Amino acid sequence: MRAEEREEIVRLPLLAACRPETADFLLRGAFVQRFPAHTNLTREGEKADFLYAVLSGSIELSAAYLDRETTIAVIGAPHTFIVAAVVLDRLYLQSARVMEPARILMLPSESVRQAMRGDAGFATAIAEEMANSYRNVAQELKNQKLRTSLERLANWLVHRDKETGGGHRFVLPYEKKILAARLGMAPEVLSRAFATLAQYDVHVDSATIIVKDWKALEKLAHPDPLIDDETI
């Protein structure tokens, strides 16, 4: 591992709070790897061999049941994924696939568990990471159970707009197909939902979204910090 890379890594929230020895120990067994788009990193049901952290690029987490499949989340830097399976030494509940070409840090799961037992700072960082993940899924569950598909889309747009600087004009970060799965609807339903949003002055030009009447969209969306804000 190169020195600059190492510096980048120890700045990750996960490692920033642990003792230098712990970081050394963890990084001895670790490696960073680049993956092209569409690489499968994990498949649900497999044993958790590594903890993954995204250094750049993005990862799609998905799950399948019978002949159905859905997207659970999309992860970007500097976040980790499938930590829970590592902490508990269990099976992955989700499959992870590279969406945008990614640089990934991989830590052997046994080292992670060992480091937790020996370093309260690291264990705390893992707990905080898990807590964040928990809250994100819990919010997503509320989103699914309490909102219609049109509301979910409207709120996703509101949220995405804030995230990209509030310019009321932005580009979808991934295919509509995947967005539909993320929002829990069939692609056709997403398409129709976008069509409906034209009434609210939301203009869609392929992957570019322009929100002309922000108030109208927000009124439809009824954003709720307890569902939509990541750090509340």
- Residues making contact with DNA (CB under 7 A): 68, 148-150, 175-177, 184-192, 194-195, 204, 206-207
Which residue in 109, 200, 94, 175 sits closest to 140, CA to CA? 94
Q: Give the Å distances, CA to CA, from 96 to 24, 54, 60, 136.
A: 27, 12, 6, 17
Part in contact with its own copies (CB under 8 A); list of ranges 2-10, 136-144, 198-206, 212-220: 136-144
Tokens of 124: 């705390």
Contact by Cβ (8 Å): 37, 85? no
Q: Give the Å distances, CA to CA, from 53 to 7, 62, 82, 99.
A: 15, 17, 9, 14
Contact by Cβ (8 Å): 60, 46? no
Considering the rule CB under 8 A, would residue 133 count as an interface residue with its own copies? yes
Q: Give the Å distances, CA to CA, from 209 to 109, 114, 158, 180, 192.
A: 41, 47, 11, 15, 15
- Least Å distance, CB 17 to its own copies, is 9
Q: Which is nearer to its own copies, 146 or 207 (CB)?
A: 146
- Least Å distance, CB 69 to DNA, is 10
User: Can you tell me the distance from the alpha carbon of 59 to that of 96, in angstroms, rounded to the nearest whole number?
Assistant: 6
- Least Å distance, CB 164 to DNA, is 18
Residue 64, classed as helix, strand or coil, is strand
Q: Which is nearer to DNA, 13 or 173 (CB)?
A: 173
Q: Which is nearer to its own copies, 36 or 118 (CB)?
A: 118
Q: Which is nearer to its own copies, 132 or 196 (CB)?
A: 132
Neighbours of 13 (CB within 10 A): 14
Q: Which is nearer to its own copies, 37 or 232 (CB)?
A: 232
Which residues pair with residue 33 across a beta bridge? 104
Partner touching 177 among DNA, its own copies, none, CB below 5 to 8 Å by kind? DNA
Residues 35-74 that bind its own copies (CB under 8 A): 44-45, 63-66, 68-70, 72
Considering the rule CB under 8 A, would residue 130 count as an interface residue with its own copies? yes
φ, ψ dihedrals at 128, nearest 5°:
-65, -40
Tokens of 116: 């937790």
Part in contact with its own copies (CB under 8 A); list of ranges 51-59, 96-104, 127-135, 209-217: 127-135
Binding residues vs its own copies (CB under 8 A): 44-45, 63-66, 68-70, 72, 83-85, 87-88, 90-91, 93-94, 116-124, 126-128, 130-135, 137-142, 144-147, 184, 222, 224, 226-227, 231-232
